[in-house]
């Protein structure tokens, strides 16, 4: 009976959370994989960005975004309150540092759906907590087929998407893990295996030190 108890306590050792980044060129399946991961794993949640844009109908503050004024955003930039931030279509979006740091300490994992520039910024600010995963398409022809999508899109629009995708692919070597998404279910299992292994890294298992001290008693 004593063995079972010790096994259970070992399973629940405290650990530090991680920031799990999934990046890919548009059309390589990153959004699908993100949704699959959030649905399958209750211990990871999507990072909620702060934004200066007004809420859209149905959006809830602190659930979809932290909606802040321009003045508040300025103040957060001034006090180095963001891991990364950027201008997008006339508004600003940023990853608030304080809220995430506190939650990481408690063992909460966060999922980030960001591009390579955001990934670089995040890694420079806090590399010990960041895990970078890049998803590649199985071929350039398959990517073109996925991006062509709607028959209504002009050749120019599709070519622009392909150029953007090629630019994103060129940064593949700035990631810790690179997975080819030929079959989404196989790819998803690889993403989950990476997450599980990273959670077990010794440096993140903050409860190991007191546990081992107890063993050596």
What is the per-residue pLDDT across 142-178, written as a single tens digit (0 to 9) for each?
A: 999 888 876 777 889 889 989 999 999 999 999 999 9
Q: Determine if the pTM surpasses 0.75.
A: yes
Mean pLDDT of the chain: 90
Q: At 11, is the pLDDT very low, low, confident or very high (cuts 50, 70, 90)? A: low
Which residue, chain included where needed, has tokens 């990273």?
198
- Between residues 5 and 45, the one the model is more confident about: 45
Lowest mean pLDDT among 70-74, 129-133, 156-160, 211-215: 156-160
Domains of the chain, CATH where assigned: 12-47+107-208 (3.40.50.300)
CB-based contacts of 199: which residues, under 8 Å, 6+ apart? 15, 18, 109
pLDDT attached to residue 64: 86
Spatial separation of the C-alpha atoms in residues 172 and 23, rounded to whole Å: 9
């Amino acid at each position: 009976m004593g063995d079972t108890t010790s096994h259970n306590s070992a399973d629940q050792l405290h650990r530090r959370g991680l920031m799990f980044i999934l990046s890919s060129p548009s059309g390589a399946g990153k959004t699908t994989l993100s949704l699959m991961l959030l649905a399958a794993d209750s211990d990871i949640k999507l990072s909620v960005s702060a934004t200066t844009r007004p809420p859209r109908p149905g959006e809830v503050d602190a659930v979809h975004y932290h909606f802040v004024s321009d003045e508040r955003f300025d103040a957060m930039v001034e006090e180095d309150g963001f891991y990364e931030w950027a201008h997008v279509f006339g508004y600003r979006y940023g990853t608030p540092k304080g809220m995430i740091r506190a939650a990481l300490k408690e063992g909460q994992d966060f999922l980030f759906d960001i591009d390579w520039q955001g990934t670089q910024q995040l890694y420079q600010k806090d590399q010990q907590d960041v895990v970078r995963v890049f998803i590649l398409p199985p071929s350039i022809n398959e990517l073109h087929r996925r991006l062509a999508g709607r028959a209504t899109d002009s050749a120019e629009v599709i070519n622009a998407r392909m150029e953007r995708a090629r630019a994103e692919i060129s940064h593949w070597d700035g990631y810790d893990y690179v997975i080819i998404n030929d079959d989404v279910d196989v790819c998803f299992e690889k993403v989950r295996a990476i997450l599980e292994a990273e959670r077990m890294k010794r440096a993140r298992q903050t409860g190991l030190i007191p546990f081992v001290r107890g063993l050596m008693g």
